[in-house]
Chains A and B, each alone.
Chain A
Amino acid sequence: GAGVSQSPSNKVTEKGKDVELRCDPISGHTALYWYRQSLGQGLEFLIYFQGNSAPDKSGLPSDRFSAERTGGSVSTLTIQRTQQEDSAVYLCASSVDRAYEQYFGPGTRLTVT
């Protein structure tokens, strides 16, 4: 079946602009996660959604970052007033439920110039 999809695959933006990244999880997966991977760094957890529960936002690096998940499916990660240090690959993952195997999307490569 279809895997996790993300769009856009690449995004180049100017410093100070806002960006929106989209994630379509695998159908039926209740848990959705956002991570980012900076050059030479490991994957860093950002935020977790589980069903209708309040999201775990403990990994968001600043208040410029926010995410929502509409209808328990599609999620959007928004970065306001982008900075150069926001340049990274943003990865979305979904799983049947928490603690189950997470399936990753191909990521969005964000470059802030």
Chain B
Amino acid sequence: RKEVEQDPGPFNVPEGATVAFNCTYSNSASQSFFWYRQDCRKEPKLLMSVYSSGNEDGRFTAQLNRASQYISLLIRDSKLSDSATYLCVVTSQAGTALIFGKGTTLSVSS
């Protein structure tokens, strides 16, 4: 089983749509969880950290279920500028390295 698994997509949605991405991770010892965004041929950038209580940042909501080892990202009112690859990320057991999923590609069209 891969350490972090994501549906690769692509997800093709119209502007204004709500879209949800899911991710599962295999190491129950992982302590920190993130969603990163990566634009084509660019470096990854942190979108948001993910907390057990769930957290929201504008149109973005992240959820973590430690028991199920499951992470989600919800994007409301999608914008053209949201088109990118969304990477689910967890820390390694040692808490040092980041373990990345392969990413889910989102394409928002007008």
Contact = CB atoms under 8 A, between A and B. Distances in A.
Interface residues of A, number: 25
Contact of B45 (A50, A59, A104): A104
B72 interface: no
A93 B95 CA distance: 15
Contacts of B102: 40-42
Interface stretch (A13-21, A62-70, A76-84, A95-103): A95-103
Contacts of A42: 4, 87, 100-103
Contacts of A43: 44, 87, 98, 100
Interface of B: 4, 31-32, 34, 42-46, 49, 87, 91-92, 94-103
Contacts, number: 54
A45 B43 contact: no
A56 B92 CA distance: 12
Contacts of B43: 91, 104-107
Contact of B97 (A59, A103, A106, A107): A59
Nearest to B103: A42
7 contacts: A35-B98, A42-B87, A56-B96, A98-B96, A99-B91, A101-B46, A104-B44
Chain B interface mostly: loop
Nearest to B49: A101
A31 B43 CA distance: 18
Contacts of A45: 92, 97-99
A61 to B, nearest CB: 14
A33 B97 contact: yes
Contacts of B99: 45
Most central of B32, B100, B101 by chain A CB within 10 Å:
B100
